[in-house]
A and B are shown apart, each in its own frame.
Chain A
Amino acid sequence: GAVVSQHPSWVICKSGTSVKIECRSLDFQATTMFWYRQFPKQSLMLMATSNEGSKATYEQGVEKDKFLINHASLTLSTLTVTSAHPEDSSFYICSANDYLSYNEQFFGPGTRLTVL
Chain B
Amino acid sequence: GNSVTQMEGPVTLSEEAFLTINCTYTATGYPSLFWYVQYPGEGLQLLLKATKADDKGSNKGFEATYRKETTSFHLEKGSVQVSDSAVYFCALSDWGSSNTGKLIFGQGTTLQVKP
A-side residues, CB < 8 A to B, are 6, 32, 34, 41-44, 46, 49, 57, 93, 95, 97, 102-110, 112
- For residue A104, which residues in chain B have a CB less than 8 angstroms away from its CB? 34, 46, 49
> Which single member of B45, B51, B100, B108 contacts A49 (CB below 8 Å)?
B100
How many Cβ-Cβ contacts under 8 Å join chain A to chain B? 55
Residues of A within 8 A of B61 (CB): none
Contact between A43 and B100, CB atoms less than 8 A apart: no
22 pairs, CB–CB < 8 Å, chain A vs chain B: A34-B103, A41-B110, A43-B105, A43-B106, A43-B107, A43-B108, A44-B44, A44-B105, A49-B102, A57-B100, A93-B43, A93-B44, A95-B44, A95-B103, A102-B101, A103-B93, A103-B95, A104-B34, A104-B46, A104-B49, A107-B44, A107-B45
Specify the main secondary structure of chain A where it touches its partner. strand
6 pairs of A and B residues whose beta carbons are closest in the complex: A107-B44, A109-B43, A110-B43, A107-B43, A43-B107, A43-B105
Which residues of chain B come closer than 8 Å to A109, judged between CB atoms? 42-43
CA distance A108 to B36 in the complex (A): 13
Q: Which of B43, B49, B100, B106 contacts A108 (CB 8 A)?
A: B43
Q: Is there an interface contact between A103 and B42, defined as CB atoms closer than 8 Å?
A: no
Bound CA–CA A108/B43 (angstroms): 6
Asked whether, in the complex, the Cβ of A42 is within 8 Å of the Cβ of B43, the reply is: no
Distance (Å) between the CB of B66 and the closest chain A CB? 13
Question: Residue B51 contacts which of A41, A103, A110 (CB distance < 8 angstroms)?
Answer: A103
A32 to B110 alpha-carbon distance, docked (Å): 29
- Name the CB-closest residue of A to B31: A103
In chain A, what residue has the closest Cβ to B110? Answer: A41
> B90-115 interface mask toward A, CB cutoff 8 Å, 1 = contact, 0 = none?
00010100001111011110100000
